[in-house]
Chain A
Amino acid sequence: MDTVLQFFNEQLIMIYLLIFTIILGFEVISKVPTVLHTPLMSGANAVSGVVIIGAILLIRQADSGDVLQLGLGTLGVILGMTNVIGGFAVTDRMLEMFKKKKK
């Protein structure tokens, strides 16, 4: 229990951020027309690639001889970057189609 409380105190700002972002997220996105369901999903999907930042930090903080950490980090960067670039590019392609049609 003590360790949990200690963790809570150490991470207080992050926990505030967590809760407020949840509320903000629901407020900002709540009303989505059907036409945008797929682009929103795929755009949000690209944003979830933000996890790549962790992979970059992992590699930078590793020793140059630590092949395990470097290997995992590089795998992480590849996965994250595919998610980010692929996600944004595919969303843009979709939205470009929607745009063309406006009368």
Chain B
Amino acid sequence: MLISLINLSYLIGAVAFVWGLRLLSSPDTARRGNILASIGMGIAILATLVAPISGGDNNYLWILIGLVVGGGIGWVAAKRIAMTAMPQMVSVFNGLGGACATVLALAELFKYYDGTMTMGLGQLGIVLFTLLIGAVSFTGSMLAFGKLDGRIKDKHVILPGHTIINIILLVVVLALAVWLMIQGSAAGTGLMVVFLVASLLYGFSFVAPIGGADMPVVISLLNSFTGLSAAAAGLIYGNQIMLVGGILVGAAGTILTVLMCDAMNRSLLNVIIGGFGSAGGGSKGESGDQVAKEATVTDASIQLFYANSVMFVPGYGLAVAQAQKALKELDDLLEGNNVDVKYAIHPVAGRMPGHMNVLLAEADVPYPKLLDLEDANAALKDTDTVVIVGANDVVNPAALDDPGSPIYGMPVLEVWNAKNIIVLKRSMSPGYAGIQNPLFFHEKNRMLFGDAKDSIQKLVQEVKNM
């Protein structure tokens, strides 16, 4: 009787995951979807706590300690974290899931090597796979966290010939896995530790050369890895809900990865091999003798005040400058003067999928005002003034007309179709990808130098005084 109840609970939990994720992919139902999935998780955990087991001492105290400590850390972190630090937070949580799978695989292997448990070859293979992918997801996510948080700069972790090093590491890791399988239970824990260390190292090294504009891709990819590790752990335990949950996450992560790659018109392999910035040698680099025209705060505010329509193009710089609330204030002032204000969101603007949407939502910008790439490009033709706030590569015309540019072929926001362009920028330095942007020298463009938040606040003051 109890066992049927447990199985039924797992089934309900699995359906809740599927339905929850389905609801999560539509704006009106997303919040309900998240709650539904969390209820499914609660049911699954409760069922696991009371499920009849063969052997073992239950050890509920240990479980309770784990649940309280983990739940406490998770809750406090989720409530305390600033909305702007969301990409880092998601990355950390993701890494912990991977680490959990790796710990499970280790526990199985310890039992296997001390002779208290036997495993078939297939089973052993799955345990090793769980360990590997969980470990890669863990160190990869932690490095991604460091990069997103600005603690680690790309140049600190990229070695010369990094692609070769990664390939060698991957070969070593796979060879170790094969060796462990051939050796079977004779391999011992020493070799297991070597395999663990190599896997952890590979995760770090794998993410190291990927940076800047490629971050959204790698974050989604790591997300799908964690899903896979959970699913593989599900196979170890013969547990259906772990398998279903893990695979769903793997699918969600893969879909996002593909969307992000499409948005840059690059293949996943190309992103992984990396070198977005370093490949820029072939570009024309025609900036030498050109001079970008500068705007004053007064010029810019007049252009905004008397426009019929204004389009803001936010990028990572908006997040860095924490300028989203100031931008919303400017938006409100202009709307009050009957200016139609919209936002153009490029799919890879920022450092994680949907980064700009979260940032603007935090500043209370209603989401119908955010246009995606296609709609924005259609609307740009009828826009009077475009204001580019901390975006660079996603508005670079070289993507369309300079075959030598590393971003050639990437769909971009065609802001030059608008009547006027204002670029808010600290200096003339190239974007994160290290590519010069001919847009800055475009005849329609004026540069407004300074910190984005500072510049926007000055614009707000000017517009108020008009």
Contacts and interface: CB of A to CB of B under 8 A. Distances in A.
Interface of A: 3-4, 6-8, 11, 14, 17-18, 21-22, 24-26, 28-64, 68-70, 72-103
A102 B365 CA distance: 9
Given A3-B120, A39-B354, A50-B17, 8 more contacts: A38-B352, A45-B94, A54-B101, A55-B104, A60-B63, A70-B59, A87-B78, A101-B361
B107 A58 contact: yes
A102 B49 CA distance: 40
B221 to A, nearest CB: 11
Contacts, number: 393
A41 to B, nearest CB: 6
Q: Which of B48, B53, B78, B372 has the most CB of A within 10 A?
A: B78
Contacts of A103: 366, 368
Contacts of A43: 20-21, 24, 33-34, 37
A22 B239 CA distance: 16
Task: Name A's interface SS.
Answer: helix
Interface of B: 17-18, 20-22, 24-27, 30-31, 33-35, 37-38, 41, 44-45, 48-49, 51, 53-60, 62-63, 65-67, 69-71, 73-75, 77-79, 81, 83, 86, 89-90, 93-94, 96-97, 99-101, 103-104, 106-107, 110-111, 120-123, 219-220, 223, 226-227, 229-231, 233-256, 259, 345, 347, 352-355, 357-358, 361-362, 364-368, 370, 372
Contacts of B241: 50, 53
B24 A18 contact: no
Contact of A29 (B21, B89, B368): B21
A86 B365 CA distance: 25
Given A41-B90, A43-B21, A78-B66, A63 B57 contact: yes
Contact of A11 (B63, B122, B355): B122
Kindly list the 8 A-B residue pairs having the minimum CB-CB distance in the complex, ordered from nearest: A81-B70, A77-B66, A7-B122, A25-B251, A37-B354, A86-B74, A85-B74, A37-B353
Query: Which residue, A8, A75, A83, has most C-beta atoms of chain B within 10 A?
Result: A83
Given A3-B122, A39-B34, A77-B70, A51 B110 contact: no
